[in-house]
Amino acid sequence: MSEVERRREPGSRREPQPEPTGLFARTFARPGVRRVLSRIVVVLGALLMLGGLLTARYGYLVVGVIVLGLGAALGPGRIRR
């Protein structure tokens, strides 16, 4: 079977990726840890946005939106293996 046919075959598995090395990389690779960190960052962004709206400091509002987006990107759905 050629390489192209093997790629097109349904249910074919990709080769396993190497495990991350280093304490931080191994810890951050776990979906549970990523989920908790993501939620903390999202809550921080929401609080910045709320504070920016209530005090009319629109710089906090902008920073809150950016932090909220970063928190959403940190979630476990972003792990590609």
In a domain, 34, yes or no: yes
C-beta neighbour count of 62 within 10 angstroms: 13
State both tokens at 35.
């989920």
Distances (CA, A) of 51 to 44, 67, 81: 11, 14, 38
Q: Indicate the pLDDT class of residue 15, thresholds 50, 70 and 90.
A: low
For the entire predicted model, the pTM comes to: 0.66
In a domain, 13, yes or no: no
Q: Each residue of 25-71: pLDDT tens digit?
A: 777 778 788 888 899 999 999 999 999 999 989 999 999 999 999 99
The domain of 56 spans 30-81
In a domain, 15, yes or no: no
CA distance 7 to 23: 34
In a domain, 74, yes or no: yes
In a domain, 17, yes or no: no
Q: E strands along the chain, which residues? A: none
> What is the count of structural domains for the chain?
1
